[in-house]
């Protein structure tokens, strides 16, 4: 009787082993849904292809790929603290499909389709179809549209997603080939962004260690698989090192890869979940309308506060999955899925904290972070009555606030109706631009100019080149030696034209608040420019920034009817802006 009584006292709730994983790619209906999601995502993102906010970050990879097409070698001939994947991948895209802004942006359209399908298929393994479709919808309207730009961040996120998908496949059907493929994909992720790749390695290591502790008989950490993973990881790494060794740039490669640890991370240190809003932006958003308008704005920006919470939820859920698994309330296959994905979220969070924990770097991880949101909304394996009771309200709330954000991004895109003709194709900007027309009217394609401090996109769109090794030199981030190297290159080249943005210093206090003031008080590159060049035109870009078109002293300024009547803002120099910020 005692044995019978013991059996009767066991929990009678539904067992998680009765809910098998749903492998979407193996079901015909799910495959068609995935195809539909991909097509819908690509169709929607085509609306953003020609829109350019003229964010300077977008020009880094574009101009680097252009240098490679012209025969230069990364690290040896020009500086970058990124790993090389994004540069050479985009150069290959240009080589195959043509060198234009439209071709570059088309890759983002494909990325968006992959992100949406990844979010759906990964969520569908443990969640209902409706909730998985909701997550795919969020990925479409708020992932890439948030920052629709050619950036190494999106390239590395693609490989991050593919690596995690391969890891999940490996734990489902372990084999040496899948372990080898997983190792290669993880290394490729590292080759596109070292911080994200390192975070992925740590996350997967944590996941497999936890799974080995939970399921001691699991085969995943057996020696043959570990060796296959290591071999897969070392293959892309070895090929990369061999290539740069052949081009005599290994020492420069190591220097540039380690450079962010000493310089980039200092300037980019910001509070967790930081939003790069200036005081003027905050007043415009929250203090320029009535209460109804302010409420709408609050709803639209609320994902800025939700996204940084998602990786923390992922960590909490990781603990929850472990507890359920140790109690025998979660099937082995669901345990493996949850633990591995949650651990990958943890590793990705670490990479964000190390690099720059502002809201944008969480946006780059949304295809992965939205999975934690799917688990909460679906609630299938969460033993919490409060979660189940608020699920409908939570799902509706998430739908409303993220839709509001997506519509705000779409409206911002559609309101950009000023068409600018560049040498890389037509773009649309929010404001009328006179910088590109003036620059292209007075500087021939292929000529060398110097843009300072930070607008590498200008080189690419005007088909001009930088005589130095640096696509940009940011005060407080780059070293004094790098400043000297750039000035020596300018002097040796006798560069005729400089595009100088004095108003850039007004942005530093908001975008890079940890910049040492000492580095701003003395700017040798700005001093060099102002002592050897004179301004000829005061130009407004499509982003509202102001640039001075400057020629070497002794050269005669061209006369342009559009700018001849406007007073030059030569008083807006770096030291004036710095004293204002202080």
Considering the domain architecture, whether residues 336 and 434 belong to the same structural domain is answered as no
Considering the domain architecture, whether residues 339 and 403 belong to the same structural domain is answered as yes
Using CA atoms, how far apart are residues 114 and 563, in angstroms rounded to an integer? Answer: 45
Picking from 393, 412, 431, the residue at the C-terminal end of a domain is 412
**Confidence (pLDDT) at 437:** 92
pLDDT above 90 covers a percentage of the chain that reads 67
**Confidence (pLDDT) at 76:** 95
Considering the domain architecture, whether residues 213 and 351 belong to the same structural domain is answered as yes
Picking from 388, 412, 436, the residue at the C-terminal end of a domain is 412
Picking from 412, 434, 464, the residue at the C-terminal end of a domain is 412
pLDDT above 70 covers a percentage of the chain that reads 90
**Confidence (pLDDT) at 577:** 37
Considering the domain architecture, whether residues 150 and 286 belong to the same structural domain is answered as yes
At 404-426, the pLDDT tens digits run 999 999 998 888 889 999 999 99
Considering the domain architecture, whether residues 557 and 462 belong to the same structural domain is answered as yes
**3-state secondary structure string, 219-235?**
CCCCHHHHHHHHHHHHH
**Domain count along the chain:** 2
In order, the DSSP letters of 524-578 are HHHHHHHHHEEEEEEEE-TTS-EEEEEEETTPPPPP-TTTTTSPP-TT--HHHHH
Tell me: pLDDT of 16 over 60: no
pTM comes to 0.90
Which band of pLDDT confidence, cut at 50, 70 and 90, is reported for residue 458? Answer: very high
Q: 550: which residues sit within 8 A by CB, 6+ positions away?
A: 497, 498, 499, 500, 529, 533, 534, 535, 536
Tell me: pLDDT of 235 over 80: yes
**Confidence (pLDDT) at 200:** 96
At 311-350, the pLDDT tens digits run 999 999 999 999 999 888 888 889 999 999 999 999 999 9
Considering the domain architecture, whether residues 262 and 178 belong to the same structural domain is answered as yes
Mean pLDDT calculated for residue range 435-454: 94
**Confidence (pLDDT) at 566:** 53
Considering the domain architecture, whether residues 442 and 405 belong to the same structural domain is answered as no
Rg of the chain in Å (alpha carbons): 26
Which band of pLDDT confidence, cut at 50, 70 and 90, is reported for residue 543? Answer: confident
**Confidence (pLDDT) at 384:** 65
Least confident of 21-25, 374-378, 567-571: 567-571
Tokens read off for 485: 């190297």
Tell me: pLDDT of 6 over 50: no
At 105-128, the pLDDT tens digits run 999 999 999 999 999 999 999 999
In this structure, what DSSP letter does residue 478 have? S
Identify the helix (H) or strand (E) that includes residue 420. Answer: strand 418-422
Which band of pLDDT confidence, cut at 50, 70 and 90, is reported for residue 3? Answer: very low
- Whether 454 and 466 have beta carbons less than 8 Å apart is answered as no
- Whether 317 and 338 have beta carbons less than 8 Å apart is answered as yes
Most confident of 131-140, 276-285, 376-385, 389-398: 131-140
**Residue 308: inside a domain:** yes
Tell me: pLDDT of 575 over 50: no
- Whether 77 and 52 have beta carbons less than 8 Å apart is answered as no
**Residue 33: inside a domain:** yes
Considering the domain architecture, whether residues 426 and 326 belong to the same structural domain is answered as no
Using CA atoms, how far apart are residues 264 and 252, in angstroms rounded to an integer? Answer: 17
**Confidence (pLDDT) at 262:** 79
Tell me: pLDDT of 580 over 50: no
**Confidence (pLDDT) at 387:** 67
Tell me: pLDDT of 370 over 70: yes
**Residue 567: inside a domain:** yes
At 88-99, the pLDDT tens digits run 999 999 999 999
Which band of pLDDT confidence, cut at 50, 70 and 90, is reported for residue 22? Answer: confident
Tokens read off for 489: 């290159």
At 123-171, the pLDDT tens digits run 999 999 999 999 999 999 999 999 999 999 999 999 999 999 999 999 9
Mean pLDDT calculated for residue range 188-194: 96
**Confidence (pLDDT) at 13:** 41
What's the chain's average pLDDT?
A: 88
Mean pLDDT calculated for residue range 24-47: 93
**Residue 9: inside a domain:** no
At 480-533, the pLDDT tens digits run 899 999 999 999 999 999 999 988 888 887 888 888 777 777 889 999 999 999
**Confidence (pLDDT) at 12:** 39
Tell me: pLDDT of 279 over 70: no
**Residue 395: inside a domain:** yes
**Confidence (pLDDT) at 219:** 78
Phi and psi at 184, nearest 5°, equal -65, -45
**Confidence (pLDDT) at 121:** 95
Q: Alpha helices, DSSP H only, in 302-430?
A: 303-306, 310-326, 332-355, 359-363, 366-378, 385-414
**Confidence (pLDDT) at 522:** 84
Considering the domain architecture, whether residues 436 and 310 belong to the same structural domain is answered as no
Angular region, 98: left φ>0, alpha ψ -120 to 50, beta rest: left
**Confidence (pLDDT) at 2:** 36
Considering the domain architecture, whether residues 400 and 426 belong to the same structural domain is answered as no
Considering the domain architecture, whether residues 151 and 211 belong to the same structural domain is answered as yes
**Residue 72: inside a domain:** no
Q: 113: which residues sit within 8 A by CB, 6+ positions away?
A: 37, 38, 39, 41, 42, 45
**Confidence (pLDDT) at 511:** 82
**Confidence (pLDDT) at 21:** 80
The Cβ of residue 308 has, within 10 Å, a number of other Cβ atoms equal to: 21
> 3-state class of 300 per DSSP?
helix
Tokens read off for 511: 């975008």
In this structure, what DSSP letter does residue 18 have? G
Q: 348: which residues sit within 8 A by CB, 6+ positions away?
A: 160, 196, 199, 200, 203, 311, 365, 368, 369
C-alpha 305 chain-centroid distance: 18
C-alpha 573 chain-centroid distance: 32
Class of residue 188 by CB neighbours under 10 A (exposed 0-12, middle 13-18, buried 19+): buried
Tell me: pLDDT of 1 over 50: no
- Whether 178 and 170 have beta carbons less than 8 Å apart is answered as yes
In order, the DSSP letters of 143-181 are TGGGG-S--HHHHHHHHHHHHHHHHHHHHHS--HHHHHH
**Confidence (pLDDT) at 288:** 67
- Whether 426 and 538 have beta carbons less than 8 Å apart is answered as no
Considering the domain architecture, whether residues 400 and 269 belong to the same structural domain is answered as yes
Q: Which has the closest alpha carbon to 214: 320, 322, 319, 317? A: 322
**Confidence (pLDDT) at 561:** 57
Give the range of the structural domain holding residue 108, as residue numbers without chain letter: 20-49+81-412
Mean pLDDT calculated for residue range 260-284: 78
Q: Compute, in degrees rounded to 10, the torsion defined by CA atoms 264, 486, 104, 133.
A: 10
Which band of pLDDT confidence, cut at 50, 70 and 90, is reported for residue 243? Answer: very high
**Residue 445: inside a domain:** yes
**Residue 58: inside a domain:** no
Using CA atoms, how far apart are residues 25 and 13, in angstroms rounded to an integer? Answer: 30
Max Cα-Cα span within the chain: 106
């Amino acid at each position: 009787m005692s044995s019978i009584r013991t059996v009767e006292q066991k929990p009678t709730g539904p067992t998680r082993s009765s809910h098998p994983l749903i492998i979407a790619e193996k079901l015909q209906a799910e495959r068609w849904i995935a195809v539909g999601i991909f097509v819908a995502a690509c169709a929607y993102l085509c609306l953003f292809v020609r829109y350019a906010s003229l964010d300077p970050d977008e020009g880094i990879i574009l101009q680097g790929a252009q240098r490679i097409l012209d025969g230069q070698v990364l690290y040896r001939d020009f500086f970058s603290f990124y790993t090389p994947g994004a540069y050479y991948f985009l150069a290959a895209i240009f080589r195959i499909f043509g060198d234009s802004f439209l071709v570059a942006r088309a890759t983002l359209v494909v990325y968006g389709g992959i992100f949406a399908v990844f979010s759906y298929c990964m969520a569908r393994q443990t969640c209902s179809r409706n909730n998985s479709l909701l997550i795919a919808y969020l990925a479409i309207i708020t992932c890439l549209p948030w920052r629709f730009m050619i950036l190494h961040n999106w390239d590395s996120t693609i490989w991050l997603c593919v690596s995690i998908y391969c890891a999940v496949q490996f734990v489902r059907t372990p084999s040496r080939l899948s372990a080898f493929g997983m190792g290669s994909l993880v290394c490729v992720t590292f080759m596109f962004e070292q911080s994200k790749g390192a975070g992925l390695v740590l996350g997967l290591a944590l996941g497999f260690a936890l799974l080995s502790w939970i399921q001691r008989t699991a085969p995943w950490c057996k020696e043959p698989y570990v060796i296959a993973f290591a071999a897969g990881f070392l293959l892309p790494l070895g090929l990369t090192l061999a290539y740069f060794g052949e081009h005599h740039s290994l020492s420069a490669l190591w220097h540039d890869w380690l450079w962010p640890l000493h310089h980039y991370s200092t300037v980019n240190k910001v509070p967790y979940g930081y939003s790069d809003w200036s005081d003027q932006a905050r007043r415009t958003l929250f203090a320029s309308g009535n209460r109804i308008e302010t409420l709408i704005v609050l709803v639209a920006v609320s994902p800025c506060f939700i996204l940084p919470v998602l990786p923390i939820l992922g960590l909490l859920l990781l603990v929850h999955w472990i507890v359920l698994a140790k109690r025998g309330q979660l099937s082995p296959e669901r345990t493996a899925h949850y633990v591995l994905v949650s651990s990958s979220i943890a590793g990705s969070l670490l990479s964000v904290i190390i690099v720059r924990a502002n809201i944008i770097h969480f946006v780059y991880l949304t295809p992965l972070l939205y999975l934690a949101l799917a688990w909460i909304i679906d609630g299938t394996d969460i033993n919490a009555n409060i979660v189940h009771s608020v699920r409908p309200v939570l799902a509706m709330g998430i739908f409303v606030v993220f839709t509001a954000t997506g519509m705000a991004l779409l409206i911002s895109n559609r309101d950009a109706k000023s068409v600018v003709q560049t040498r890389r194709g037509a773009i649309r900007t929010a404001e009328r631009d006179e910088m590109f027309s003036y620059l292209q009217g007075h500087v021939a394609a292929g000529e060398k100019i110097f843009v300072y401090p930070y607008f590498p996109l200008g080189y690419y769109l005007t088909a001009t080149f930088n005589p130095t090794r640096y696509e940009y030199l940011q005060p407080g981030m780059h070293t004094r030696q790098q400043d000297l190297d750039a000035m020596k290159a300018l002097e040796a080249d006798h560069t005729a034209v400089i595009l100088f943005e004095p108003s850039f210093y007004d942005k530093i206090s908001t975008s890079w608040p940890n910049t040492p003031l000492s580095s701003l008080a003395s700017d040798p590159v700005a001093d060099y420019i102002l002592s050897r060049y004179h301004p000829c035109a005061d130009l407004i870009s499509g982003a509202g920034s102001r640039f001075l078109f400057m020629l070497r002293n002794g050269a005669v300024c061209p006369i342009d009817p559009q700018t001849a009547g406007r007073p030059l803002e030569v008083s807006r120099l770096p030291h004036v802006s710095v004293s204002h910020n202080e």
